Chain A
Amino acid sequence: MPTSQADVHATLAALERAQTALNRALRDEQNDQLADLDAEVRRLERERSRLVQQRTSRRDQFAQVPPVRAQVLAALNIAGRPVASRLLADIARARYGYNIETRGLASLRRDELRSWRVYSEHPERAVAKPDLIVPALSYDRFTPERGTLALSSWKLADRIVAPASGRVDVLVVASNLARLCMASPNDPWQADLARLAGRIGLSTRPFAGTLALPSPNEILDAAAAELGIIIPADQREREDSASRAAGLLGEEDQLFGAAPLGLTTNVAGKRVS
């Protein structure tokens, strides 16, 4: 709501008067008045800042950024496999320019659990089954893996991490990013995303000791070679683990993980890390 020019004049005049009064009090050592005068100056300075912001219309830029949840969903959809929050944030920044703060992701997961519980009690109210942000699960006890995120729409075996899965998933993600870059060679985000994929590509065998980032094509080949060797065993382990989980866990735990052994549940019935 833009302020009228008359109001601007009034605010500036009031600020100048308040500053003069404060300076005089300091010079004349009228210490008992200083606190009040200082507070008044600061109040008027805040008012002035608000006017400046209106004029420079920085607020419009903020309106364009979608909420964190949407940013995370977008990045996970690109990744295609469970990722650490740091890598997720890097993907979101490279592809969309989003700045996801990894610290906020813990509370995001708690909100997701709440949403799911609401949905599961009243499925008729939901427009469609929500795609939820969930933690990856450990292969042995199905506890949530700290700092890793996945999508509920992925099959359980893909959301479970076995000992070798960390490396497998990072290579699959790199391949997905590389494919995206090759499909859209002229888009403005291509270079940043290619750099991110290249960073992972540097850790593949053909690029040992080199400093130049591999191209998307090279990343695909190198990752495929390494994955060809390690995916079968990893996939088997994950699928065995998933069958066990399906037999042991209820729907909520299959999504959000089982509680750690020996941990007492809080009043709401679950500890979500």
Chain B
Amino acid sequence: MNARRVASIVEAPGCVRRTVLDAAGVDTTFLVQQLGFKRDRQSPLAISRAAQFEALLERDGRAQLIQLARRHLDLELSDVRVKDLSVAGTRSQVRIAADTRRTKLTKQELGHILRREPGAANLLVKPLTTLTIGNLEAQLEQDVLAFAEQGALHVVAIRNFYMTRDDADPTLVGQAARETAVHVLSLQRMAEALGCDRAQISTKVLLVLPRDLLFVPTGVVIDVADEVEHLEQAIGRIGDIEDLAESLDLIALPPPPETLSSEDDHEQFRGEVRGALRAMPMRFGDGCVSCAMFRSCRQEAEAERSTARLGSVVAGLCGETGSIDAVLDLVEGRRAPQSISEAAISDVLQRASRAIERAEIAGVA
């Protein structure tokens, strides 16, 4: 469970399948591979460029990051007091499990910062925070940093897509905003748990990107207040996941196969997995692209001839009539509309159909 998965809860709201799988901590990437779909792999070049960019920002005591924070977040940062909360940085207490001690140390340091104690750190490196979703607690490895001043904390996100002179790819910026909102929300809740004001965690985050195709780091400040709000609402809607799970007739996922020799065995295994998945209703839509289950659910939507396969706009238009065949029957007159909404769909699509005919005759389409 990481920030990206949590952020995508907002993108595909109301998908029971995803909610239950995420809450159960199922490795959906592995699951989808077992169904025979190829793994989504980031190119090795992209990975090494990302690693290079981070190494560049870590150079010289994070000199460039400090400068970007001073400039874009308007922070004084006259001295830079670093608290390294990464695995490597917290190795001096190996008696406790890494995640536990990192979360404890993060909370401690956050307390010092928010209470404006002298000697508190003002640069946190790789803090580890938690977020409760449903009634389960997700541990968020923050691959971000945070700068603090006067009891206020700003999250920094480092990304690898590049920024041109004036702007960057809005889809990617949006995704970064949603992911960073997860970190911000998690920090806000931690602040409240410490008895401090959640407004001390600023929604203005610093996004650090390479400039053009040069590797020069540039900064841009984005306000993720809206994203935080949407996220809170989406999480609120999840409610009690265990209750949800009990209301469904869940089938257990089969254990991962040690040895599957014949093709028949493979097919049987896949069938069992698909059966288990189908016990959880899905809500297929435009937001599904970022989910690991995307291809599998898309195949299912296609097999069911669901209007969702045609995108959220079309599915929304067709309303309750969820099957492509049912819609075509309406439009082509094989079936009479059963309700007002069916009459409306039928009307719109018939007009569209006639318009296409006219365009074809005119030689335009």
Interface residues of A (CB under 8 A from B): 84, 86-87, 138, 140-141, 143, 146, 163-164, 166-167, 169-170, 199-200, 202-203, 205, 208-209, 211, 226, 229-230, 233-234, 260-263, 273
Contacts and interface: CB of A to CB of B under 8 A. Distances in A.
A166 B61 contact: yes
Interface residues of B, number: 29
B213 to A, nearest CB: 16
A261 B101 CA distance: 13
A224 to B, nearest CB: 14
Given A203-B66, A229-B78, A230-B79, A87 B59 contact: yes
A146 B88 CA distance: 7
A263 B216 CA distance: 41
B51 to A, nearest CB: 13
Given A164-B81, A262-B96, 9 more contacts: A141-B92, A164-B79, A166-B62, A170-B60, A202-B64, A229-B78, A261-B95, A262-B95, A263-B94
B324 interface: no
Interface of B: 55, 58-64, 66-67, 70-71, 78-83, 88-89, 91-96, 119, 121, 216
14 contacts: A146-B88, A146-B89, A164-B79, A164-B81, A166-B61, A166-B82, A167-B79, A167-B80, A170-B60, A199-B63, A202-B64, A229-B79, A234-B79, A261-B94
B64 A203 contact: yes
A164 B95 contact: no
A226 B63 CA distance: 13
Contacts of A234: 79
From B64, B81, B89, name the one whose CB has the most chain A CB atoms within 10 angstroms.
B81
Nearest to B66: A203
Nearest to B70: A208
A143 B60 contact: no
Contact of A163 (B63, B83, B92, B96): B83
Contact of B92 (A200, A203, A208, A260): A260
B126 to A, nearest CB: 13
A262 B93 contact: yes
Nearest to B118: A233
B92 A143 contact: yes
Contact of A203 (B58, B63, B91, B216): B63
A163 B121 contact: yes
B60 A163 contact: no
B79 A205 contact: no
A161 to B, nearest CB: 9
Contact of B78 (A86, A230, A260, A263): A230
A228 to B, nearest CB: 10
Contact of A170 (B63, B71, B96): B63
B60 A203 contact: yes
A4 B358 CA distance: 90
Given A163-B82, A164-B81, A84 B61 contact: yes
- The 6 closest A-B CB pairs, nearest first, are A262-B95, A203-B63, A163-B81, A170-B61, A167-B80, A230-B79
A202 B70 contact: no
A86 B59 contact: yes
A273 B91 contact: yes
Contacts of B70: 205, 208
B94 A166 contact: no
A199 B78 CA distance: 19
A87 to B, nearest CB: 6
From A140, A169, A205, A226, name the one whose CB has the most chain B CB atoms within 10 angstroms.
A205
Nearest to A226: B78
A86 B92 contact: no
A167 B288 CA distance: 44
B122 to A, nearest CB: 9
Contacts of A199: 60, 63
A170 B59 CA distance: 10
A206 B53 CA distance: 25
Nearest to B71: A208
A233 B79 contact: yes
A87 B60 contact: yes
Nearest to A204: B67
Contact of A202 (B55, B67, B81, B91): B67
A261 B91 CA distance: 9
Contacts of B64: 202-203
B84 to A, nearest CB: 9
Contacts of A263: 94
A202 B93 contact: no
A230 B81 CA distance: 10
A216 to B, nearest CB: 16
Contacts of B80: 164, 166-167
B164 to A, nearest CB: 17
Contacts of A141: 92
B79 A260 contact: no
Nearest to B65: A203
B101 to A, nearest CB: 10
B110 to A, nearest CB: 15
Contacts of B121: 163
B147 to A, nearest CB: 13
A163 B88 CA distance: 16
